[in-house]
Structure 1
Amino acid sequence: MSEDERAKLPPSFRPVRGGSRPDPRTARPVGSGEPTAQPAHPRRHARPARGSSEAAERPVPRPAARSRTPEAVPPPSYAPRGTATASPASRTAPPRRPQPAPAAPVPAPASPSRTGRRRRPGLVLLGVLLVVLLAWPIGLLIWANGKLQHVDALTGAPDTPGTTYLLAGSDSRADGAVADATEGQRSDTIMVMHVPDSGPTALVSLPRDTLVEIPGYGPEKLNTSYSLGGPPLLAETVEQLTGLTVDHYVEIGMGGVQDVVDAVGGVELCLDYDVDDEFSGLRWTAGCRVADGPTALAFARMRYSDPNGDIGRADRQRQVIGAVMKQVAAPSTLVNPVDHVQLVEAGTGALVTDTDTGIVDLGRMALAFRDATGGKGVTGAPPVADFDYRPGGIGSTVLLDEELAPQFFQRLRDGELTPSDVETTP
């Protein structure tokens, strides 16, 4: 290559004498021996004009890529004050102390929501109501059971199928309910209620003057057994007549009738004829009306002004008891605690039961009475042959039909009694 051609080449491409390589920073061969002029500042280098061959040919160095990983920083020295700090080279990382496991975070108590605040009083009130609804009847039953009066009345005879109740109304003058000079006490009302294992519940009224054979005394009126031997002899006489073993004996005094009626606020009674009876004190105009205690008592006791005699009186006695049961079961009575207390006071003060009969048995008896007086039950009296039979020595008696009465009591025991089997009129 000629000198002229070499002079036209850029300095970086000029051959270096002695095989030395050109220094890209000065564009002069290294080791040429000639001093190299350093620029005052790198940025003051003259930049080749755009488009020139030198700018196109000179390689542009790229800056080294920065590492995104931060350099490790030595841990700070924790040397105590006043001591020399070791040089970085001699520092050693202190051993890490085992850190305790972080405790499980305790959740903060959640504040009750407004809905919970509104519901909480309602739940408390509901709980109180449930306690009252459960505790009041149980406490009332226990209290009432403790107030019952008991008497030995059952005979201990072998059991017969079903459950048999003997209901007796005593007209003792000791309580002052009946104002006359009669001494002692009599069984003015005698009813047998039988709940068979199958069949309708039956409520049979036994006329008080029914001619019967009293064990140990011979022929007499039925209520005389009560006067002679009290509840046990009455129960034994009824068992001999009906063939049924008495399971529960319940007696109510005359004074108790009016107290119970007043306790329930009166009962509605009906009679289809006028009455002005001086013996019972009943004054009645034909029709229905609400009767208070004394009126209901006279209604149940009236006998001589009744055209049907003992049968008519038995019908009215069942009407009084049924009206009392209906009133006791009325919602107004069931939801009123005051009525509960008054009714228990009146009822337990008037009732006398056998030693095995409690308040729960009386509740079952009330339900059975409701069934007997309902549409599917049977009420009435056994067949009568003569309402004024006079055997001599004991006055007028009620003579049962000798042929039909045994069949009647057999059907009663078997739960096969029907309304056509009972006596309703003389």
Structure 2
Amino acid sequence: MSGRWDGRPEPGRRPPTDRTAMMPEAGSRQGPYSRPRQNQYSRQRQGPPTPPYGSPLPAREREPIRRPPPRRKKPRWGRRIGVFLLVILLAVGGLVFWIDSRLTREEALADYPGRPAETAGTNWLIVGSDSREGLDEDQQSDLATGQAAGRRTDTIMLLHIPDNDVAPTLLSLPRDSFVPIEGYDANRINAAFAFGGPQLLARTVETATGLRIDHYAEVGFSGFAGIVESVGGVEMCIDEPMQDPLAGLDLQAGCQELDGAQALGYVRTRASALGDLDRVERQREFLSALMQKATSPGVLFNPFRSIPLALDTAELAIVGEDDHIWHLGGLAFAMRSFVNGEGVTTTVPFGGFGQERGMSVVYWDEAKSQELFSALAEDRPVPAELIVTE
């Protein structure tokens, strides 16, 4: 076996090495078989690794972070106004429903066999009664109401509000009108109220006119005077002096503001040439002026006027079972047209006066009155020749 090594390791022997190459350099601590040590500490001594997006600036060269100043919130006036209006709306709505709950309701418009079918437009039966309910002796003396008991009708009106652009019509039915009354002999129309209250009166009016009544409103002496006081009085222009001790009336000629007691005497007195016919004309004029005052901005937007007016109306008026305070509001606005001359005010065409069982009565002109009622039932303008002017 030769003494030279051929490069192939023999079993159990280590290959020869170049001791010179394997010797560490001077000053080195590495052993002959050591590798240069690389670890995390050595890497840190060599410097931090380069970040992927470039090296950061030195701390002294780095600009300070400038944060934007806080944004000042602008006042949201739209939202505030919306909340305010919502609160007002809820308050007004609650007040309206509370007042509506205080209305005195009565079953005035009951069904019966042969009742007229629904006609065009809206028909109100407006009744002024001589009821003294709620008045003490001093108040009855101040209002000159007398001492009669019960309820009778001093005023009977029919208000027709068309569904189209035809002018509304305020029609007076004289209380002495001689008409048939269901279950009784023919009598003056106000006797129906005395016999059977609002139900029989409404039925008598529907039977005599052929018009179906949609709404009912009744005001007594105290209610009428209270409503006039609530609006602060009503101005009326009187052509000549009026005196009537029975009605407590003493007025001079000229334009003047009537308080509750004066207004009640003004619409009640019959001290004139035509008696009841003159009275119904005054009643229409005063009612229109009252409604114009009640719906004026000075009353509607003045809570010291509008709220007492609504409360007095609710407590002192009587309406049908299905009527509400907003229906009365619609009635008031419809009445404004008569003051402006846009509506038609008239009395049922009459044919003369007479006596029936010792009573003074008014007879209707059958042909003209039926023509008038037909025009209202069909929402047609009232022919000029049918308009009665006293």
- Among 318, 332, 356, the alignment partner of 2:298 is 332
When residues 125 and 330 of structure 1 are mapped into structure 2, their CA distance, relative to the original with a 3 A threshold, is farther
Q: Deviations over 1:63-112 (max 9, x none)?
A: xxxxxxxxxxxxx9963xxxxx6899xx7987989xxxxxxx9x867331
Quote how far apart the aligned CAs of 1:372 are: 4.5
1:411 lines up with 2:366 in the alignment: no
Q: Deviations over 1:372-406 (max 9, x none)?
A: 454331111011122x310224x101111233222
- Among 352, 357, 361, the alignment partner of 1:392 is 357
Is the CA contact (8 Å cut-off) linking 1:196 and 1:413 kept in structure 2?
no
When residues 126 and 96 of structure 1 are mapped into structure 2, their CA distance, relative to the original with a 3 A threshold, is closer
- Among 256, 273, 286, the alignment partner of 2:240 is 273
Partner of 2:97: 142
Alignment-mate amino acid for residue 93 of structure 2: I
Is the CA contact (8 Å cut-off) linking 1:311 and 1:424 kept in structure 2?
no
- Structure 2: tracts of 5 or more residues without a match: 1-37, 53-64
- Among 125, 129, 132, the alignment partner of 1:166 is 125
- Among 208, 217, 230, the alignment partner of 1:263 is 230
Alignment-mate amino acid for residue 214 of structure 1: I
CA RMSD of aligned residues (A): 2.9
Q: Deviations over 1:280-325 (max 9, x none)?
A: 111011111011111111111111x122321211121122221221
Name which one, 1 or 2, has greater alpha-carbon Rg. Answer: 1
When residues 126 and 164 of structure 1 are mapped into structure 2, their CA distance, relative to the original with a 3 A threshold, is same
When residues 339 and 128 of structure 1 are mapped into structure 2, their CA distance, relative to the original with a 3 A threshold, is farther
Alignment-mate amino acid for residue 121 of structure 2: G
Whole-angstrom CA distance in 1 between matches of 2:213 and 2:105: 16
When residues 339 and 191 of structure 1 are mapped into structure 2, their CA distance, relative to the original with a 3 A threshold, is same
Partner of 1:250: 217
Quote how far apart the aligned CAs of 1:326 are: 1.4
Q: Deviations over 1:110-160 (max 9, x none)?
A: 3317xx3xx55x557634542354234322321221111100011323322
Question: What SS class does the counterpart of residue 295 from structure 1 fall into?
Answer: helix
Aligned residues: 329
1:286 lines up with 2:253 in the alignment: yes
Is the CA contact (8 Å cut-off) linking 1:209 and 1:397 kept in structure 2?
yes
Whole-angstrom CA distance in 2 between matches of 1:405 and 1:293: 34
Alignment-mate amino acid for residue 159 of structure 2: M
- Among 356, 365, 377, the alignment partner of 2:331 is 365
1:221 lines up with 2:181 in the alignment: no
Alignment TM-score, normalising by the size of structure 1: 0.70
Alignment TM-score, normalising by the size of structure 2: 0.77
Quote how far apart the aligned CAs of 1:224 are: 0.5
Aligned counterparts, 1:310-321, within 5 A = 310-321=276-287
Question: What SS class does the counterpart of residue 149 from structure 2 fall into?
Answer: coil
Whole-angstrom CA distance in 1 between matches of 2:244 and 2:254: 17
- Among 343, 346, 349, the alignment partner of 1:383 is 349
Question: What SS class does the counterpart of residue 139 from structure 1 fall into?
Answer: helix
Whole-angstrom CA distance in 2 between matches of 1:259 and 1:78: 102
Question: What SS class does the counterpart of residue 416 from structure 1 fall into?
Answer: coil
1:190 lines up with 2:149 in the alignment: no
Identity %: 35
- Structure 1: tracts of 5 or more residues without a match: 1-75, 80-84, 98-104
Whole-angstrom CA distance in 2 between matches of 1:87 and 1:392: 132
Partner of 2:70: 110
1:126 lines up with 2:81 in the alignment: yes
Partner of 1:308: 274
Alignment-mate amino acid for residue 101 of structure 2: G
1:422 lines up with 2:377 in the alignment: no
Partner of 1:48: none
